[in-house]
Amino acid sequence: MKFIDSIKKDFNTMTWVLIPVAIAINVVIGQIVVLLRLPVYLDSIGTMLVAALAGPWAGALTGTLSNIIWGLAIDPNAFPWFPVALFIGFVTGWCAVAGLFKNWWKVAVTGFFVAITAAVVSTPIAVYLYGGITASGSSFITAYLLETGRGVFEAVFSTNFLVEPVDKIATALLAFAIIKGLSKRYISRFPRSENVEIEEGSRTNQLVIALIIAIVLIIISATVLTLILG
Amino acid sequence: MTQQLTFYIDRDSQLHRLNPLTKIVLVFSFIIIAFTGPWYLLPAVLIVLAIIPLSFLGRIQKEYAAATRKLLLPVVGFLFVMQSLFHPDTGEILLKLWFLDISVGSLRYAFLTASRIFVMVSAFILLLLTTHPSVLMSDLTRRGLSGSFAYVITSTLQILPQMRAKASTIIDAQRSRGLDTEGGYRQRVRALLPLAGPLVFGSLVEVEERAIAIEARAFTSTQPKTYLTEIPDTPLDRTIRWSLVVLTILTVGSNLWL
């Protein structure tokens, strides 16, 4: 019973109404980014928003439904990727519960964890369904790695590991920026508003720390990557 | 009048008249059969003998062809080429390009993977072309799916075109006030905030109003609801569903014997 109660806690009417709006935010911002020809996706902002405000289960649901809606309305190629979006929401939610969504640099760390999760979850899908080559530009990196003799899993995972951190950390920071812009009264209507009690601190300081941490994490992951690839 | 954001084409055909659950079972059994079939030509056979005839049966063959051309062929084509070139080679080498080879083995693998994806996406396209999402959601709700899920999907499909219209209004408004959306890299990044900001915050404010509105319409009530429209579920539907389940089990099972 406790487990189900924990799930139920995430969902009140505000959550149910927020989820469609969050999905719409995912889609529209994802498409604005394409219009501006920026080299990121930014299609999980809504998912992370819901995860922080309403909890991991609501976040996971938002991610899943976001993929399904994208498949229903825009491109059915998106359907098989729903576990990735699910875990993006799930991990963000738990990071927020653990207090990692309260200032800029903590949010950057959350973004990093999400990036790793996204890379890990999307690899098996890419390998088993698509044989490792999906329709995005990063496939060329995968192809190159395959040609130099790496196993399929290694090649796909390495590609994802390169691409995800920038996108997911930026997404997390943007979701946090949105939360900062909302009034406390509004946030208090959501089930897990305690996750986003913003810690005060000089804004510039924190942004600088966030940037430094993001860069450090990316450098660490690149080093780890080259070690794995040997 | 809000435009619906769906693939659905309103026509009368045998596929349209099938119960939505039957079509869902069709999609999933096709996918499972295509991905677990022991023969590398099975998905291709499925396409020629099942999917294309079904598109004619549903009288949506033109729309299906258009959707395939737009959504499917680029992806599948790209996949096929990349896999032929980069998949580890087995069997006789057929072609050598620079440092890449195409072998019988990699061609076979590429063909299998590409045709499997083709089956999967085609099956969904067929479903979406012949099933109105509201009818689909309504049927699933009557079978026990929580009303909140159905609300989320239907509501999102309605909100999306509204948001897009809002987004393009905001883009136009900001551009007419001098926002540069075509300049250098930095310009474009800076353009993101004035475009996305009003959109996001405007929509979030609406969330509270909507929540109050649906609560006033008994959204959280657990009383059984009466439905206005009927969605027929005929014996033919039930037969089709069970045959598909049996076929799927047989296909998966055949893997154990071979």
In tens, the pLDDT along B201-224 reads 888 888 888 888 888 887 777 777
A7, A14, A32, A57: which to substitute to probe chain B, counting the most B Cβ within 10 Å? A32
Across the A:B interface, residue pairs with CB atoms under 8 Å apart total: 156
Shortest distance between the Cα of A10 and any Cα of chain B, in A, equals 13
pLDDT the model gives residue A203: 66
pLDDT attached to residue A196: 62
Q: How far apart are CA A122 and CA B208, in angstroms?
A: 34
pLDDT at A157 over 90: no
Query: Are B124 and B152 members of one domain?
Result: no
Residues B248 and B122 in one domain: yes
**What is the nearest CA distance from A82 to chain B, expressed in angstroms?**
15
- Asked if residue B225 belongs to a domain, the reply is no
Residues 6+ apart with CB under 8 A from B190: none
Residue B227 is assigned to a structural domain of this protein: no
List the one residue out of B80, B119, B108, B74 whose CA is nearest residue A133.
B80
pLDDT the model gives residue A3: 75
Q: What is the mean pLDDT of residues B131-136?
A: 83
Tally the domains of chain B.
2
Residue B247 and residue B181 share a domain? no
Q: Which of A21, A28, A186 shows the shortest C-beta gap to B167?
A: A28
Name which of B191, B197, B210 is nearest A181 in CA terms: B197
Mean pLDDT of A74-96: 88
Q: Within 10 Å of residue A120's Cβ, how many Cβ atoms? A: 15
In-domain check, residue B8: no
Work out the minimum CA distance from B235 to partner chain A, whole angstroms: 28
Secondary structure class of B90 (helix, strand, coil):
coil
Q: Is residue B52 part of a domain?
A: yes
CB nearest to A38's CB, from B85, B155, B188: B188
- Same-domain status, B110 and B25: yes
Q: Token pair for residue B204?
A: 């979030």
Q: Is the pLDDT of residue A170 over 80?
A: yes
Same domain, B178 and B61: no
- Say if residue B103 is in the same domain as residue B159: no
Torsion of CA B204, A58, A39, A221, to 10 degrees: 140
Same domain, residue pair B126 and B239: yes
Task: State whether the Cα torsion B74-B75-B77-B83 is positive or negative.
Answer: positive
Spell out which residues of chain A touch residue B98, defining contact as CB-CB under 8 Å. Answer: none
With respect to residue B182, please indicate whether it lies within any of the assigned structural domains: yes
Any A CB within 8 A of B23 CB? no
Quick one: which of B61, B49, B68, B19 has its CA closest to B240? Answer: B19
Indicate if B52 and B149 belong to the same structural domain.
no
> Going from the N-terminus, what domains does chain A have, and what CATH number goes with each?
2-229 (1.10.1760.20)
Residue B50 lies inside a defined structural domain of this protein: yes
Give, in degrees to the nearest 5, the angle at Cα A55 between A49 and A60: 75
- Examine the domain organization and report whether B85 and B185 are in the same domain: no
What is the three-class DSSP state of B132?
coil
**pLDDT tens by residue, B135-152:** 888 888 888 777 788 888
Binning pLDDT at 50, 70 and 90, where does residue B2 land? very low
Domain-embedded: residue B209:
yes
d(C-alpha B196, C-alpha B187), whole Å: 15
Q: What are phi and psi of B102, to 5 degrees?
A: -115, 125
ipTM above 0.90, yes or no: no
Residue A225 has pLDDT above 80, yes or no: no
| A23 interface with B at CB cutoff 8 Å | yes
Q: Determine the structural domain holding residue B170 and report its residue range.
A: 140-216
- By C-alpha distance, which of B120, B117, B84, B88 is closest to B102? B84
Please report the pLDDT score of residue A83 as a whole number: 93
Q: Do B59 and B86 belong together in one domain? A: yes
A160 in Cβ contact with A127 (< 8 Å): no
Nearest C-alpha of chain A: how many angstroms from B207? Answer: 6
Chain B partners within 8 Å of A130 (Cβ): 79, 113, 117
Residue B226 in domain? no
B219–A25 C-beta distance less than 8 A = no
Task: Note the pLDDT of residue A59.
Answer: 92
Question: Chain B contact for A124, CB < 8 A?
Answer: no
DSSP string, B176-223: HTT--SSS-HHHHHHHHHHHHHHHHHHHHHHHHHHHHHHHHTTTT--S
pLDDT at residue B3, rounded to an integer:
46
Confidence of residue B5 (pLDDT cuts 50, 70, 90): low
